[in-house]
Structures are given as structure tokens and as C-alpha cells.
Amino acid sequence: MSAVPPVSFQAATRRFGDRAAVEGLSFDVRPGRVVGLLGRNGAGKTTSLRMLLGLTAPTSGTATIFGRPYAHLADAARRVGVSMEGVGALPGVSGRRDLEITAKALGLPAGRAGEVLEQVGLADPKVADRPVARYSTGMRQRHGLACALLAAPELLVLDEPANGLDPDGIRWMRGFLRGLADAGHTILLSSHLLAEVEQVVDDVVIIQRTLRYSGTLRDLTDGGAHSLEDRFFQLVDGDAPPTGGATVRSGAQTGTDQHA
């Protein structure tokens, strides 16, 4: 196993004008973990993921994947699967065609499109051959996941993957992500759906412009004695981290390492 973390933020700050969307963010993600990047609307989750993927440059600090900025990562498109609004999906073509085009661009066999359609439950021709523009929100989420999975990447970066899903879809997504992690993939997902996240993540990173917590879900909730929701509000509303399991912590015992 590589000593280089799949994802590492080191004092990453992104300012827009005189306002910092994200400030001094430092944490690592360990391989094979499902990590939830959590925060309220506007907390800086998407900005953090965009820095990680080279879609916006940090004003200072670094955000790296396998030790390098995304732009300098060899074979990045195959090693990192991304599902994020505004990334991928040609809306005018069918879901299947979109996946075939992406597969070709990645140097993968066209048959790979059919495999991922099966995986995400979109293989029915009535769905697969419909333009992506006519997909429901849930279908779009599944399609985004299918795109991300094409190259069977080591790392998946998913921005709000459960947003807009109905209860069936959320349940499916939860089982699906768990299965991927059990198969050795590392998953970094952003969300503000705390109850859903609690059921699937190993580790939690909470931000509210600055880092509020990075560590295991188990430590955060004191082994399940507290809910993620309670801990979350203590951390994002409090000026200082509370005592107990919900401190901003560092150390090898945690799934994510905090370096601030």
C-alpha cells in the first residue's frame, strides 16, 4: 500500500475577492475509506473538491491526489472518477452513447459502457437510450456515477451523490458505495445529508470555511453514543471544538489526518 494518501489538503485556502470560501484546510484521506466531506450550504465543500480536481486554483496551500496536483497526475482521468455537476455528460446524447464516448476517450473498450450501466441500474434500453437531458435527477446521479466508474478508478470524488434521490435511490446509493469501498476503492463524497452519510462513511471531515473535524465517524460519535447530527452542530456552531470524541483531531488512529 502506498504511503502517499489518495487525497491530501495542506493549508488550502481559496479566496473569492476579499472573502475566503475555504481557509487553511488540512486533512488526508486514507486508502480504502469512504470519507464524507460535510458542511452546510456555502460551507466550502464544492470549492474544496474543485481545488482538488484542478478546476479552481488554491489561493494558497495545496490540494493533491496521490501526492500531486490533479493537473500533474499521470493517467488522472483513469485513476480518479468524478461525479460533479457541470463535469462530464453530453446532455444531447443518450446515456449509453455518452458513456461510450467517454470510454473511448479514456482508451477503454466500448463494452465497458454496458457494464457500468448494469452496475448503476440504468441498463434498460428505455433508459440507456434516452437523452441524458431527459433523465430525472435520480437517473442523472446514477449516470454521473456510471461515468465516474468507467475506468474502475482507485479514487472516486463525488459531489453530493445522494442529492435529489428518492428513498429507494438513497438506499441503493448507500449499498453501492459501501460495496465499492469493500472492493478497495477510496471514496471522497460531499454531502449535507447527515443521516444518510452516517450510514455509509468510515471517516468524516466537517468544514465551515475552516476545518472543524477530521477523523473517524466512530470517534466523532463516541462509538455511536451520539448522533452525527448532534456532533455536527456542536462543531459548526461552536467557536471552539467541544471536548470528548468530537475534537478536531490528528493522528494515525484516525481515518483522516489533520495537519492544521
Ligand X SMILES: Nc1ncnc2c1ncn2[C@@H]1O[C@H](COP(=O)(O)OP(=O)(O)OP(=O)(O)O)[C@@H](O)[C@H]1O
State the nearest-atom distance from the C-beta of 220 to ligand X, in Å: 19
- The whole-angstrom separation of Cα 30 and Cα 172 is 24
Q: Is 57 in the site for ligand X (CB under 6 A)?
A: no
Q: How far is the CB of 159 from ligand X (least distance, A)?
A: 8
Shortest CB 102 distance to ligand X, Å: 24
Q: Does 88 bind ligand X (CB under 6 A)?
A: no
Q: Does 39 bind ligand X (CB under 6 A)?
A: yes
**Sheet-wide strand order for 60-65:** 19-29, 7-16, 60-65
User: Quick check: 169 and 138 in contact, CB under 8 A?
Assistant: yes
Please report, for residues 28, 115, 179, 209, 210, the alpha-carbon distance to residue 45 in angstroms, rounded to integers and kept in the order given.
15, 31, 24, 9, 11
DSSP symbol at 5:
-
Q: Does 46 bind ligand X (CB under 6 A)?
A: yes
- Contact in structure between 118 and 142 (CB atoms under 8 Å): no
Q: Which stretch binds ligand X (CB under 6 A): 40-48, 86-94, 137-145, 224-232?
A: 40-48
- Smallest gap from residue 254 Cβ to ligand X (A): 22
Q: Which stretch binds ligand X (CB under 6 A): 41-49, 124-132, 150-158, 231-239?
A: 41-49
Residue 80: enclosing H or E segment and its boundaries? Answer: strand 80-83
Of 5, 6, 44, 245, the one binding ligand X (CB under 6 A) is: 44
The reply to whether 42 sits near ligand X by the rule CB under 6 A is: yes
| Span 158-217, contacts to ligand X by CB under 6 A | 192
Say whether residue 254 binds ligand X (CB under 6 A).
Answer: no
Instruction: Report, in Å, the least distance between residue 130 CB and ligand X.
Output: 27
Cα 144 to Cα 87: distance, rounded to the nearest angstrom = 9
Is residue 132 a contact residue for ligand X (CB under 6 A)? no
> Pick from 170, 191, 187: which is nearest to 179 by CA?
187
Residues that bind ligand X (CB under 6 A): 16, 21, 39, 41-47, 192
